[in-house]
Amino acid sequence: MVWVPLRPTRTDRRAPLRAPTHHGTTMSLEWLMGWSWSLDGLRDFIATGIQSFRDCDATALAAVACFLVLFVWYCYHVGREQPRAYATVNALMQSAEANGVQNGYVYCHSPECVRCTHHDGLNQKLYHNLQEYAKRYSWSGMGRIHKGIREQGRYLNSRPSIQKPEVFFLPDLPTTPYFSRDAQKHDVELLERNFQTILCEFETLYKAFSNCSLPQGWKMNSTPSGEWFTFYLVNQGMCVPRNCRRCPRTYRLLGSLRTCIGNNVFGNACISVLSPGTVIAEHYGPTNIRIRCHLGLKTPSNCELVVGGEPQCWAEGRCLLFDDSFLHTAFHEGAPEDGPRVVFMVDLWHPNVAAAERQALDFIFAPGR
């Protein structure tokens, strides 16, 4: 025979919510020891719980609800304000799709773009961005950036003509026209291991030139003589989705590079083609915080890169690293039958820019900021 406890009175139901006495504790233990899993017992248990909830103090319930709302808001706020880690190329590609990038090439139309626009208020704008970053995160490690922005005009005007970045100069970085392969060893070796993959995708793209003078996705650049074409996967920190889809393996490779500048206006990745007889006019890059990497895909003779007055030649399957904030030029003096000079170009962080500085510079020079 199963023993079932009698239905508790209304007073009994509220008893567990009060501070227990010794007598009440003993009775509760006896009641639990004698509990039987009958249908009536389960019903009584549920009814007791519902009544206890009804009898709770309304003020206490309101306080708990407020705390829960505050906790949810805090979690959302902290999550939203986390420092942005290095953006993968996939994230950039999705962002570019959302921004309506069309025709396979990104053009900057923003009058506020620090990469494209030179104006008197640039330093104030950069300092405002730095203050906003430091307010959200920290001033720790921002000494060189702060110094650079504060005295940017003096730095740019007093630089020797051999090195004059057009937009931003970070002080106290080692200065040299060319870098050794060990400067970014991991990324250099990864690119060279994938030489054949990138070359195959370029050759597929280049076949389109037999059908028209400038296939979709390619950009023709101004030169004193000859023709210089570029096919961008990332342009000024913005991914070009249509072009990336046409070079899927090269696009995935970018996401494996550790030091690729992916989400600020100084970051680019493209295939660069010089036809025979082409000369690129001498010019300066926008900043010294990056080093430009050229992986040789097709390198006929009589082609040279000159950086800071020092000439270098490309080699197929090998990377050449240089600082494009130095005055530089390139030319292809080969015969028409030699074919084009082709390199895969990608911008990497200068090895002496610290991780905290990279994060801050990504924030300050974010595309469209």
Distance, CA of 43 to chain centre: 58
Res. 246: pLDDT tops 80:
yes
- In DSSP notation, 163-210 reads B--SSB--TT----SEE-GGGGHHHHHHHHHTHHHHHHHHHHHHGGGG
- Tally of CB atoms within 10 A around 6: 8
Res. 93: pLDDT tops 50:
no
Q: Lowest mean pLDDT: which of 12-21, 51-60, 148-157, 336-345?
A: 12-21
Res. 104: pLDDT tops 80:
no
Instruction: Give a yes or no: residue 290 inside a domain.
Output: yes
pLDDT digits (tens, 9 = 90+) for 108-162: 444 545 555 555 577 888 999 999 999 999 999 999 999 999 988 888 787 888 9
Instruction: Give a yes or no: residue 342 inside a domain.
Output: yes
CATH number of the domain enclosing 199: 2.60.120.330
Return the closest-CA partner of residue 181 out of 320, 346, 317.
Answer: 320
pLDDT digits (tens, 9 = 90+) for 58-86: 666 677 777 778 777 766 654 554 433 33
- Rounded to whole angstroms, the Cα distance separating 54 from 48 reads 10
Residue type, 130: L
pLDDT digits (tens, 9 = 90+) for 256-266: 999 999 889 99
Higher pLDDT, 232 or 212: 232
Confidence at residue 49, expressed as pLDDT on a 0 to 100 scale: 58
**Counted domains in the chain:** 1
Cβ atoms of residues 232 and 269 within 8 Å: yes
Confidence at residue 68, expressed as pLDDT on a 0 to 100 scale: 78
Res. 317: pLDDT tops 50:
yes
Higher pLDDT, 319 or 33: 319
Confidence at residue 236, expressed as pLDDT on a 0 to 100 scale: 94
Higher pLDDT, 216 or 213: 216
Confidence at residue 99, expressed as pLDDT on a 0 to 100 scale: 46
Rg (alpha carbons) of the chain, rounded to whole number? 32
Instruction: Give a yes or no: residue 86 inside a domain.
Output: no
Indicate yes or no: pTM above 0.75. Answer: no
Higher pLDDT, 262 or 280: 280
Instruction: Give a yes or no: residue 53 inside a domain.
Output: no
- Rounded to whole angstroms, the Cα distance separating 281 from 329 reads 6
Confidence at residue 206, expressed as pLDDT on a 0 to 100 scale: 92
Instruction: Give a yes or no: residue 264 inside a domain.
Output: yes
- Tally of CB atoms within 10 A around 242: 16
Instruction: Give a yes or no: residue 224 inside a domain.
Output: yes
Res. 32: pLDDT tops 70:
no
User: Environment class of residue 341 by beta-carbon count within 10 Å: exposed (0-12), middle (13-18) or buried (19+)?
Assistant: buried
Instruction: Give a yes or no: residue 56 inside a domain.
Output: no
Confidence at residue 57, expressed as pLDDT on a 0 to 100 scale: 60
Print the domain residue range for 261: 164-354
Instruction: Give a yes or no: residue 279 inside a domain.
Output: yes
User: Environment class of residue 201 by beta-carbon count within 10 Å: exposed (0-12), middle (13-18) or buried (19+)?
Assistant: buried
Confidence at residue 214, expressed as pLDDT on a 0 to 100 scale: 87
If you average pLDDT over each of 56-60, 146-150, 208-212, 304-308, which comes out highest?
A: 304-308
Averaged pLDDT score across all residues of the chain:
81
pLDDT digits (tens, 9 = 90+) for 340-349: 999 999 999 9
- Rounded to whole angstroms, the Cα distance separating 55 from 68 reads 21
